[in-house]
Amino acid sequence: MPKRKRAVVTQPQPPQMQKRMRRTKTICSCSSPRFTDNSAGSAFCWYEEDVWTEIAKYLDGKSLVMLATTCCWFHGLIMEGSIWKYACLRDLQVPAPLHVAFNWRNLYVSAFDGSHSYMFRQKEKHIDWMRIGAFSVESSEALLTERLRNPTKLPEEDTMQKMLEACGYCVLDNVKAGIWIADLQLVRCPVCELNTCDGTMQTLDARHIELFLSEGYQNGSWEYEHIGSHDVKKHVDGASGAIFDLKHLNDSPTSVFNLKSWVGKPNDWQPKAIITLHSVAVNTNLQKNEGLQVKYQVMRAGAGGEVVSIRISQQLL
């Protein structure tokens, strides 16, 4: 390529001279970074897999899909499981589980497409919901409670019902390890068939990330089962519920049981929630009332299978 002549500052030229020196070629936009380095014998390539893999880490699910539709090369790259795994763990803010049974792209979609459990069960009863977040279960045991205070000791009663009546919390075993997604659901009274009924029920609804993709859930063979209930026959300040990975129970109390840091003020009636790496809790302040009925339900992956979904519901008496 010839070297450009060095510019020299001169006196202004006459108009006719300026006209003769006018450019005959327009300035082109820069085409960098596509270039050829003859001395190195290499060329920049638009399709650098490592570069685009790194760029993909900064894109959300919608942007990843849009990029995948641009051409076959990008489609093949974006469909790589490692990209969707990174996006899923990044957006859910949880560590990677040891094993998943489905590809990460489908797991991402099921987590972020706006689906919730009442879209598949009792849709006519559903009123509203909000996503709380995700937490991780490493052990096979979980502590379920309706009281937002650190238990001094674990319950020793024989049955779930006795645990709930004596302590207001219970221990659930055979819980599926991995990523769990938590939502707060507001539904109509489950025992009333009147559309005009004002009765509502608040539900802390947690599910394993693979639940919506499982055949047993999709075909309806997995159903929720009632494992216990507890009536509080006096005024309560709030409807609360919490789920803890029992192995990490002592890791969470600082944040979850520090109610002043997240529970609303007494005259704030909006639901509040908190989520940590291994627990989730909700609370809704209540006006004057005569007590609550608290129900505990679980869904198992078939008869005797692992627990894949948990519900803690509160309804005014």
- Pseudo-torsion of CA 296, 300, 302, 305, nearest 10°? -120
Q: Give the list of residues 6+ apart from residue 148 with CB closer than 8 angstroms, or none.
A: 240, 242, 256, 257, 259, 263, 281, 283
- Residue 230 contacts residue 146 (beta carbons within 8 Å): yes
Q: Give the list of residues 6+ apart from residue 245 with CB closer than 8 angstroms, or none.
A: 135, 136, 137, 138, 139, 141, 142, 278, 279
State the first-to-last Cα distance of the chain, in angstroms, to the nearest integer. Answer: 87
Domain extents in the chain: 49-109, 123-151+158-316
Burial class, 105, CB count within 10 angstroms (exposed 0-12 / middle 13-18 / buried 19+): buried
- Residue 294 contacts residue 312 (beta carbons within 8 Å): yes
The torsion region of residue 267 among left (phi > 0), alpha (psi -120 to 50) and beta comes to alpha
Tens digits of pLDDT across the chain (317 residues): 444 444 444 444 444 444 444 444 444 444 434 444 444 444 445 667 677 777 878 888 888 888 887 888 777 777 787 888 999 999 999 999 999 999 999 999 999 999 999 988 778 888 999 999 999 999 999 999 998 887 777 766 667 777 787 778 889 999 999 999 999 999 887 665 555 555 688 999 999 999 999 999 999 999 999 999 888 899 999 999 999 999 998 775 568 888 989 999 989 999 999 999 999 999 999 999 999 999 999 999 999 999 999 999 999 88
Query: What is the pairing mode between strands 224-232 and 292-300?
Result: antiparallel
The partner residues of 307 in beta bridges, in order of sequence, read 175, 300
Residue with tokens 């047993």: 216
